[in-house]
Amino acid sequence: MKAITVKQPWASLIIRGGKDIENRDWYTGQRGIVAIHSSAKLDRNEMRDACDMMRGFVARFSAERFELDIFPTGVILGTVEIVDCVKASDSPWFRGDYGFVLRNAVAFETPIPCRGALGFWELPAHLLDGMRAQYRLALAQGVRLDAAAGNDL
């Protein structure tokens, strides 16, 4: 299974914050379910940028409250489906040369520690059973993927 490392707080916003675009300066033909891995460090500049962005479209946004949240680092947070790669989007999250269009995020109850890498990378085989268990648990707790996608871990 493929994974992609995303800086915090963006990784958490993809998995549990409704971020439907991942901005990159490169195109991808990757489609389907991928694991979202959070980077090893929480960058204060990225946190400030996320707060500035959300002030523009989240009613009653509170940076103080947002920054009190927990942003795990160096872990697999869950999965998301990449359905397209675009050069323009109406999404308020779009801010790059390319945007990976994301759908059907599934948050893991317990993040899975793992080292990341640049670009898309293959998850170590020894993590897959734990990921499958977390995925099934999330689905049993009410998360539903688009049935038309036909994807499974």
pLDDT one-digit tens code per residue, 21-71: 999 999 999 999 999 999 999 988 999 999 999 988 888 889 888 888 889
**pLDDT tens, position by position, 124-141:** 999 988 888 888 888 888
**pLDDT tens, position by position, 67-98:** 888 899 999 999 999 999 999 999 999 998 99
The C-alpha atoms of residue 106 and residue 139 are separated, in whole angstroms, by: 8
pTM for this predicted structure: 0.88
Q: Does domain 2-149 have CATH number 3.40.640.10?
A: no
> Strands, E, within the chain: which ranges?
2-8, 21-24, 32-42, 75-86, 98-113, 120-122
The C-alpha atoms of residue 73 and residue 142 are separated, in whole angstroms, by: 25
